[in-house]
């Protein structure tokens, strides 16, 4: 991940503990896929519980690792929506040249 936005210079790294919400997003996305996936496969296939666990346990380990950066980006987007950076941080002027 970049340290700052290449367009506006907004600093992405925040105080310690800031990205706890991103962990909740990551967890919610994993559970939101794994649980309905398990229930759908249980309903429409004849997979045993051991076959289901062989599928969903690795998924529940690998998916959060792959979704990590997306969860952080989504958390930053939510934070930016509710707390626009212009009101919190001083941003460099986008139009620094004469136009």
CA distance 53 to 46: 13
Question: What tokens appear for 88 in the block?
Answer: 């919190």
Compute the chain's Rg from CA coordinates. 20
Q: Where are the domains of the chain?
A: 32-88
The DSSP secondary structure of 2-50, one letter per residue, reads -SB-TTT--B---STTTTHHHHHHHHHHHHHHHHHHHHHHHHHS---HH
**Tens digit of each residue's pLDDT (9 = 90 or more) over 39-79:** 999 999 989 999 999 999 999 999 999 999 999 889 988 98
Would the pTM count as exceeding 0.75? no
């Amino acid at each position: 991940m970049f340290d700052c936005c290449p367009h506006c210079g907004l600093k992405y790294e925040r105080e310690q503990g800031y990205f706890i919400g991103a962990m909740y997003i990551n967890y919610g996305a994993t559970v939101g896929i794994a649980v309905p996936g398990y229930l759908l496969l249980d309903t429409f296939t004849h997979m045993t519980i051991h076959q289901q666990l062989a599928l969903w346990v690795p998924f529940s380990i690998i998916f959060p690792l792959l979704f990590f950066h997306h969860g952080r980006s989504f958390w930053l987007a939510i934070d930016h929506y509710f707390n626009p950076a212009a009101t919190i941080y001083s941003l460099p002027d986008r139009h620094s040249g004469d136009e």
